[in-house]
Amino acid sequence: MLRRLFMIAVIACVAAVPAVAQTAADTLTSSFTVDGIPVILRRNISNNVVVANVYLLGGSRQITDANSGIEPFLLAVSERGTMHYPKAILRSKTSALGSDFVVEPSIDWTMFGARTITSGMDSTWAIFADRLMYPAIQPAEVELVRSQFISGEKQERDDPDAFVSDLADSVAFAGHPYSVSPTGNSRSLARITPAALREYEQTQIVKSRMLIVVVGDVTRTHLESLIHATLGRLPAGSYKWTLPDPIPVRPASAVLVQRDLPTNYLLGYVAGPLASSPDYTALRVAATVLTGQMFAEIRARQNLTYDVHAPFLERAASASGLYVTTIAPDTTLKLMKGFITQLQNETVTSDGLQRLELQFITQYFLDNETNASQADFLARSQLYQGDYRRAMTFVEDLKSVTPAAVQAAARKYMRNFHWAYLGDTTKVDKALLLSF
Amino acid 36: pLDDT: 98
Enter the DSSP assignment of 406. H
Task: Find the helix or strand (DSSP H, E) in which 153 lies.
Answer: helix 139-158
Number of Cα atoms under 13 Å in the Cβ half of residue 124: 23
Sign of CA dihedral 51, 57, 62, 65: positive
Which pLDDT value is given to residue 19? Answer: 37
Sign (positive or negative) of CA dihedral 390, 63, 320, 327: negative
Distance CA 225, CA 231 (A): 10
Query: Structure pTM?
Result: 0.90
CA 14 – CA 357 distance, rounded (Å): 9
112 beta partners: 54, 103
Diameter of the chain measured on Cα atoms: 65
* Spatial distance between the Cα atoms of 372 and 387, rounded to a whole number of angstroms: 19
Torsion-angle region of 309 (φ positive above 0: left; ψ -120 to 50: alpha; else: beta): beta
Q: What is the DSSP string of 294-351?
A: HIIIIIIIS---SEEE--EE-SSEEEEEEEEEES-HHHHHHHHHHHHHHHHHSPPPHH
Q: DSSP label at 82?
A: B
Dihedral angle at the C-alpha atoms of 279, 284, 287, 288, nearest 10 degrees? -140
- How many angstroms separate the CA atoms of 89 and 119, rounded? 20
Determine the length of the chain: 436
Whose CA is closest to 20, among 418, 373, 412? Answer: 373
Q: Do the Cβ atoms of 244 and 177 come closer than 8 Å?
A: yes
Selection from 409, 414, 349 nearest residue 4 by Cα: 349
| 3-state percent helix, strand, coil for the chain, nearest multiple of 5 | 50, 20, 30
Per-residue model confidence (pLDDT) at position 117: 97
Domains, the chain: 2-19+245-434 (3.30.830.10), 37-233 (3.30.830.10)
CB 41 within 8 A of CB 29: yes
Cβ contacts of residue 78 below 8 Å, gap of 6+? 131, 132, 135, 136
- Cα–Cα distances in angstroms (integers) from residue 218 to residues 40, 48, 49, 102, 350, in the given order: 12, 10, 10, 20, 44
Task: Average pLDDT across each block of 10 residues of the chain; the chain has 436 residues. List them in order.
Answer: 38 36 66 98 94 97 96 98 97 96 97 97 98 98 98 94 95 95 95 98 98 98 98 98 94 97 98 94 91 94 96 96 98 98 91 73 72 94 93 81 95 98 98 98
Closest by CA to 416, choosing from 429, 434, 404, 400, is 434
pLDDT of residue 364: 67
